[in-house]
Structure 1
Amino acid sequence: MEKYEELFVSIRQIIRAIDLRSKKLSKAVGITGPQLLVLQEVLAAPGLTSKQVSDSINLSQATVTSILDRLEIKQLLVRKRDSIDRRKVSLYLTDQGVITLNDAPRAMEESFIEKFENIEAWEQTLLLSSVQRIASMMNAEELDAAPMLKIGEIDSIHKP
């Protein structure tokens, strides 16, 4: 097997692991990875604006707005307009949002982070550089991506 074929197999294995994690999350609590990320951000800092969430999780404002719409339809969070500055809309979890977060399976990223932090700094740098190079070779460096892993659109669409 050629080296590039071995690389493609490894990339496909990573994609498959991400896809399985995403399906497990959807089946367990009915939300996607990015939706989970948004809920976690709002739990950590109630009253955030959508712009603050967008900046924090490295997703575009449009993507976050779409996620917020879905979470609001599912009654997992609410948007509250500020009584003084009517332009400001703050985000808060509902009781069901808190329950959903508590019921969500442990993130794949948590296990990954533990393992990653247990390797030498030089190897961390090497891995990061290699994966960034692969993303560049696939013309993927400008794609909208959160630090949480997710593949596909489950319902139409930790941070450490």
Structure 2
Amino acid sequence: MVTRRTLAELGITGTQASMLFMLAIGRCSTATELAREYRIDTSAVTRLLDRVEKRALLSRTRSYQDRRVVRLELTDSGRELAERMPDIFTDALQRAVQGFTPEEVGFLKSMLRRVHTNCSDEADEIIPRY
């Protein structure tokens, strides 16, 4: 649902939009951090960011402290797009749980947290977080 909406309204994939959101809220500032957060290969993140950069939604700036580090910065257009993401995420979630009782939603969240924890533990064994 998120990708359909971001493609239709923003012209980028849900993953690209989500990464812009992560940059906007300051959770990540480099491709390496995004790769760790999303648990995908840095080269895949770089390809995603190349497409977003071509749309002038972000820019890359080499760090003055460490020339090996390339910081990602949103342009004004990228920031405007990222600001739309909470509404898109919220709408998708509301549609997904439409017709559920509040108790069912609470139970679903609890079960999904447990699934996430189980999967995160397994992924940490394979791909350690630094």
Counterpart secondary structure, 1:98? helix
Q: In the TM superposition, what whole-angstrom CA distance separates every residue of 1:67-114 from its partner, at most 9, and x where no partner exists?
A: 111111111011100123110101110001012223455125543589
Residue 52 of structure 2 corresponds to residue 66 of structure 1: no
Residue 57 of structure 2 corresponds to residue 76 of structure 1: yes
Residue type of the alignment partner of 1:92:
E
* Percent identity between the two aligned chains: 24
Residue 83 of structure 2 corresponds to residue 102 of structure 1: yes
Structure number with larger C-alpha Rg:
1
Question: Contact 1:35/1:67 (CA < 8 Å) preserved in 2?
Answer: yes
- In the superposition, the TM-score normalised over structure 2's length comes to 0.67
Unaligned runs of 5+ in 2: 124-130
- In the superposition, the TM-score normalised over structure 1's length comes to 0.56
Q: 1:99 to 1:127 in 2, by over 3 A?
A: closer
The count of aligned residue pairs is 112
Unaligned runs of 5+ in 1: 1-17, 133-141, 143-160
User: In structure 1, how many angstroms separate the alpha carbons of the residues matched to 2:110 and 2:67?
Assistant: 46
Question: Contact 2:31/2:42 (CA < 8 Å) preserved in 1?
Answer: yes
Aligned Cα root-mean-square deviation (Å): 3.5
Q: 1:116 to 1:126 in 2, by over 3 A?
A: farther
Name the structure, 1 or 2, with higher relative contact order (CA <8 Å, separation 6+): 1
More displaced 10-residue stretch of structure 1: 81-90 or 100-109: 100-109
User: In structure 2, how many angstroms separate the alpha carbons of the residues matched to 1:54 and 1:40?
Assistant: 14
What corresponds to 1:125 in structure 2?
111
Counting helix residues as a fraction of each chain, which structure ranks higher? 2
Q: 1:122 to 1:49 in 2, by over 3 A?
A: closer
Q: In the TM superposition, what whole-angstrom CA distance separates every residue of 1:32-59 from its partner, at most 9, and x where no partner exists?
A: 0110111011001177111111111232
User: In structure 1, how many angstroms separate the alpha carbons of the residues matched to 2:101 and 2:41?
Assistant: 27
Question: Contact 1:48/1:90 (CA < 8 Å) preserved in 2?
Answer: yes
Residue 76 of structure 2 corresponds to residue 90 of structure 1: no
Counterpart secondary structure, 1:91? strand
Residue type of the alignment partner of 2:111:
T
Q: 1:113 to 1:58 in 2, by over 3 A?
A: farther
